[in-house]
Amino acid sequence: MNLLIRNGRVIDPANGLDAPAEVLILDGRVSRVGPRLEVPAETPSVDAGGRVVAPGFMDIHVHLREPGQEYKETIATGTRAAAAGGFAAIACMANTQPVNDTRAVTDYITAQARAEGVVRVYPIGAVTRGLGGRELAELGELAEAGCVAYSDDGRPVMSSALLRRALEYAQAFGKPIVSHAEDATLADGGVMHEGFVSTDLGLRGIPAAAEEIMVARDIALAELTGHRVHIAHVSTAAAVRLLRDARARGVPVTGEVTPHHLLLTDETLRSYDANAKMAPPLRGKRDVEACREALADGTLDAIATDHAPHALADKEVELDQAANGIVGLETAVALCLTHLVRERVLDLGTLIARLTVGPARILDLPGGSLTPGAPGDVTILDLDREHVIDPGRFYSRARNTPFRGWRCVGAPWMTIVGGRVVMAEGVVERGPSR
């Protein structure tokens, strides 16, 4: 696909660019970026109207539910939600039914993504068979089938010996391990963050130490094996300190944070709204501030949504019975523009970096920049668009969000994948991703 994007403010953190420019995509790849480009005759064009033109955003932590739980989400609906939210590429976790621990499941996901998806889909294979934590999955087979990383996300790999062996095998295939860092013996039965609020509400808490113990262990194993560990959904101040210290020593460890752990605290659970129940749980104000600082200084490399769609029946129950997680693909960018950039927690270039080059480097994905030859994926932002989050308008099959009714200023205006416009002004087009 060929496309010229003109009249935009191009921000490409990977190349240190923030200037008025045009972006030319030829045959689905970035050809050139600069002022007043010469283009082939009859090249279609998009007028960005002075809006911000960035590399296509990536979300490296998404649960698509297909195969097995299509009543919650499908690859078709999940990728349409991604496009609506400004994401041109997503990586999907292995906790489908059956678990993505074999080539057959990976092949199914990639085939469905080609047939039904509207953005790029990168599968993540399981670390252990059936996410059981007892024996390794066929890591080589999963890599050959196209998995970009390994993770039992949703569950920790509790055995340190098994995780060490996984890291040693994963190193041979050049794929990182994505860690759900949680000591299950400490977290077991917990409903929310352990602290003043949980005591006040009489709800069983999950101590911050449940996360921090495993982050410390994962760092030690990364240091021992020399192979990359990526810590998913970091949520505590001490976990941030551990990551910062490890990175200063050159340990190959990276981290991500979710918008909800940047914007909400455990006080949100005073509503008893199960849409605020998640794993790891919403933490205290000090933890939120630490995660924000770590995102700004680069200790945390990426923002990831941990998009976790659920049916109403999974959430409209008592808190201790409710499923963990919220949907995030369609709210993340608008919330970050409103509450991180406008409130000067991050500058706009840093936010874009945490949504593009940061996640691309963690999983070694193509894209994340507008370097000539890169995939022709672009996200265009309207920084002035005012709107209210309305789950009834989601493309996702699920509605589980605590951000219902939040007023935002700024939103994705267009999503382009391989030179093809898949979302314009909030409307997602139907069709294969590439």
Residues recognised as catalytic: 306
Are 75 and 66 in contact by the 8 Å Cβ rule? The answer is yes
Q: State whether residue 354 is helix, strand or coil.
A: helix
Q: State whether residue 71 is helix, strand or coil.
A: coil
Residues 6+ apart with CB under 8 A from 193: 205, 206, 208, 266, 281, 282, 283, 284
Q: Residue 85 burial (CB < 10 Å; 0-12/13-18/19+)? A: buried
Helix 75-84 with 103-116: angle, nearest 10 deg:
60
Closest listed residue to residue 116, CA positions, set 78, 174, 87, 75: 75
How many residues are given for the chain?
434
Task: Give alpha helix (H) positions in 203-320.
Answer: 209-225, 237-248, 259-263, 285-297, 312-315
Q: If you ran DSSP here, which 8-state letter would residue 340 be given? A: I
CA distances from 218 to 53, 143, 285, 300, 392 (A): 37, 22, 25, 16, 40
Closest listed residue to residue 192, CA positions, set 287, 294, 107: 287
Looking from the CA of 293 toward its CB, the CA atoms found within 13 Å total 14
Q: How far apart are CA 26 and CA 40, in angstroms?
A: 9
Closest listed residue to residue 403, CA positions, set 285, 278, 300: 278
Q: How far apart are CA 365 and CA 327, in angstroms?
A: 23
Amino acid letter for position 258: T
User: What is the dihedral angle through the alpha carbons of 261, 281, 356, 225, rounded to the nearest 10 degrees?
Assistant: 130
Helix 237-248 with 285-297: angle, nearest 10 deg:
30
Q: If you ran DSSP here, which 8-state letter would residue 136 be given? A: B
